[in-house]
């Protein structure tokens, strides 16, 4: 990649407590934004274009997806817009006086339907950078195997999965750990030898 800044950028700001605060300087319209307060004990927040701007999910915890108001308002041409809602106890993006960081990734814009797997997924993929976001609804109840398309055109080196509608661990696959081995994003556990998350 000649210019990595066209696919990934980090930005910093200090919260002012207002809604509709535009954070600029990303250089592209991000498709995944990971926000964290740097000077306060606040949760990590993830927002992506596939699920929608107001849908928060938290990589430091097993908590399910929430619809949040006045927190992450939109994905913009040169960044994104955030707000502040005092009703949330630890999920903030623009609390007055708090310093924030956001890591921004470019995927492929609006999601498209992908039927490459045994179940259909909604995918935003950036093949140049080797990065994609996918959502799908499993049909399994207890055990079994399913596959879903990711739009990258070749096998990914790392995959992170999270159930959106229930409390559950973030399952992580990495090629160097191997198939049927699971790491957990929010835990310090050693890899779990199990096909619960990942097959071959």
Query: Tell me, what's the pLDDT at 77?
Result: 97
Sheet with 79-82, edge to edge strand ranges = 21-24, 79-82, 72-76
Q: Is the pLDDT of residue 136 over 90?
A: yes
| Alpha carbons 119 and 97: distance in angstroms, whole number | 45
- Tell me how far CA of residue 94 lies from CA of 119, 137, 156, 157, in angstroms: 38, 32, 34, 34
| 108-129 mean pLDDT | 97
| DSSP secondary structure string for all residues of 27-72 | SS--SEEEEEESSS----EEEETTTEEEEEE-TTS-PPPEE-SSSE
pLDDT for 145-172, tens place per residue? 899 999 999 999 999 999 999 999 999 9
Choice among 16-30, 84-98, 103-117, 178-192 with the minimum mean pLDDT: 178-192
Q: Under 8 Å CB-to-CB from 148, ≥6 apart: which residues?
A: 114, 116, 117, 118, 119, 120, 121, 134, 136
What is the average pLDDT value for the chain, to the nearest integer? 94
CB 56 within 8 A of CB 45: yes
Q: How many helices (H) and strands (E) does the chain have?
A: 0, 16
Comparison of pLDDT for 89 and 56, the residue scoring more? 56
Comparison of pLDDT for 60 and 191, the residue scoring more? 60
The burial class, CB within 10 Å (0-12 / 13-18 / 19+), for 92 is buried
């Amino acid at each position: 990649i000649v210019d990595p800044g066209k696919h990934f950028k980090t930005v910093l700001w200090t919260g002012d407590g207002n809604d509709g605060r535009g954070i600029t300087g990303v250089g592209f319209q991000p498709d995944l934004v990971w926000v964290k307060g740097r000077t306060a004990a606040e949760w990590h927040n993830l927002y992506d274009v596939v699920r929608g701007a107001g849908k928060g999910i938290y990589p430091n915890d097993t908590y399910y997806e929430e619809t949040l108001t006045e927190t992450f308002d939109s994905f913009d041409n040169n960044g994104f817009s955030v707000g502040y809602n005092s009703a949330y106890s630890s999920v903030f993006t623009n609390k007055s006086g708090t310093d924030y960081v956001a890591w921004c990734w470019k995927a492929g814009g609006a999601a498209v339907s992908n039927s490459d797997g045994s179940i259909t997924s909604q995918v935003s993929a950036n093949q140049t950078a080797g990065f994609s976001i996918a959502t799908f609804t499993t049909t399994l109840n207890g055990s079994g195997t399913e596959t879903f398309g990711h739009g990258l055109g070749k096998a990914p080196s790392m995959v992170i999965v999270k159930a959106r509608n229930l409390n559950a661990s973030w399952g992580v696959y990495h090629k160097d750990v191997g198939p049927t081995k699971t790491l957990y994003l929010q835990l310090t556990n050693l890899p779990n030898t199990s096909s619960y998350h990942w097959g071959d």
